[in-house]
Structure 1
């Protein structure tokens, strides 16, 4: 059961990372489609000076150390 849990965790993390890379514009789809995240209240982009895919793995590493 532990092996299954690890595989599922890795697959989910990989998919989330891929989605965030797409949002960051770091893959070949960025040539055709651009995605922007907008704050509902302020109507401002959340993509200013941030790489979501890098922040995601930094967050995971911080949480795993706890």
Structure 2
């Protein structure tokens, strides 16, 4: 009986340590995900500012050189 209790306590201790490590890992991933989402938002904003809202009309373009 004593051996079973020791094995169970060892298993619980191992599981608690594993859970703490997984929690730290998930927290780090969440922070990284938030940083990447913010960077994506900033890049999208830059693209939006660099892209004209109305593309140029073909009649606004000069004719090709062979004309």
TM-score by length of 1: 0.38
Q: Which structure shows the higher helix fraction? A: 2
RCO comparison, higher one (Cα < 8 Å, 6+): 1
TM-score by length of 2: 0.38
